[in-house]
Chain A
Amino acid sequence: AQSVTQLGSHVSVSEGALVLLRCNYSSSVPPYLFWYVQYPNQGLQLLLKYTSAATLVKGINGFEAEFKKSETSFHLTKPSAHMSDAAEYFCAVSEGQAGTALIFGKGTTLSVSS
């Protein structure tokens, strides 16, 4: 079965600092991977997705993620944090069949201080 592990339930950075949110997955087949962001009391918004076209994926709001098969990782980064980036971030993997549900990590809360 596929699974997702997000290392660190809470990450704190200063405004302007590098953001690094870690995600490792397990899968017996080539996975499809996603990062979502959630602001308080709202639904999830797609940041970016990996679908095997390119290992470095660029998303919205300046975020990007790199797929590393050898490390089974899909870490999310942003060069310079902004106060508006404070939110909860979820990594998710597809089970591999059309129309089936995603498997989510437990989430990482990002705090940004001025």
Chain B
Amino acid sequence: DGGITQSPKYLFRKEGQNVTLSCEQNLNHDAMYWYRQDPGQGLRLIYYSQIVNDFQKGDIAEGYSVSREKKESFPLTVTSAQKNPTAFYLCASSASGGDNQPQHFGDGTRLSIL
């Protein structure tokens, strides 16, 4: 079955450490997204990519970095500059060709601070 795989499901970060969250999709979608979810705040956009080797900052990009070297993969790095990284991180993808294309979501990674 086609879908989006996020790993790991749970991740712990030490002070001063960078961590990378994995997101892989086999839906052949061009666009991919990273959201951060905090209780009561809904989903906030971190980065998105419409095509390989190109990506744009979202509303809360500070302290995060991404790459898009392959169509299937869109890893997110949470750097030590992100002072409050504890959250639930969701990756999504969508087909191109119109803004009525729904986004498909992975099951998320929960990041906590040690």
Residue ranges of A at the interface with B (Cβ–Cβ < 8 Å): 9, 32, 34, 36, 41-46, 49, 51, 90, 94-102, 104-107
Whether A97 lies near B99 (C-beta < 8 A) is yes
Interface size bucket, B side? 20 to 34
Contact A98:B108 (CB < 8 A) given known A90-B43, A104-B43, A106-B40: no
Whether A96 lies near B99 (C-beta < 8 A) is yes
Residue ranges of B at the interface with A (Cβ–Cβ < 8 Å): 4, 6, 30-31, 33, 35, 40-45, 48, 50-51, 58, 88, 90, 92, 94, 96-108, 110
Instruction: Pick the contact of B48: A9, A101, A105, A107 (CB < 8 A).
Output: A101
Separation of A43 and B34 alpha carbons in the complex (Å): 12
Separation of A65 and B62 alpha carbons in the complex (Å): 36
Whether B48 lies near A100 (C-beta < 8 A) is yes
Q: Across the interface, which residues of B come within 8 angstroms of A43, CB to CB?
A: 4, 6, 90, 92, 105-108
Instruction: Pick the contact of B96: A41, A90, A99, A107 (CB < 8 A).
Output: A99
Whether B108 lies near A41 (C-beta < 8 A) is yes
Whether B103 lies near A104 (C-beta < 8 A) is no
Separation of A4 and B43 alpha carbons in the complex (Å): 12
Separation of A25 and B74 alpha carbons in the complex (Å): 30
Interface centre among B42, B44, B88, B96 (most CB of A within 10 A): B42
Q: Across the interface, which residues of A come within 8 angstroms of B110, CB to CB?
A: 41
Contact A9:B40 (CB < 8 A) given known A49-B102, A102-B103: yes
Contact A45:B99 (CB < 8 A) given known A101-B33, A106-B41: no
Within the complex, the shortest CB–CB distance from B53 to chain A, in Å, comes to 14
Within the complex, the shortest CB–CB distance from B16 to chain A, in Å, comes to 28
Q: What are 18 A-B contacts defined by CB distance under 8 Å?
A: A42-B108, A43-B4, A43-B90, A43-B107, A46-B104, A49-B100, A51-B100, A94-B99, A96-B99, A97-B99, A98-B96, A98-B98, A99-B30, A101-B33, A101-B48, A101-B58, A104-B44, A105-B42
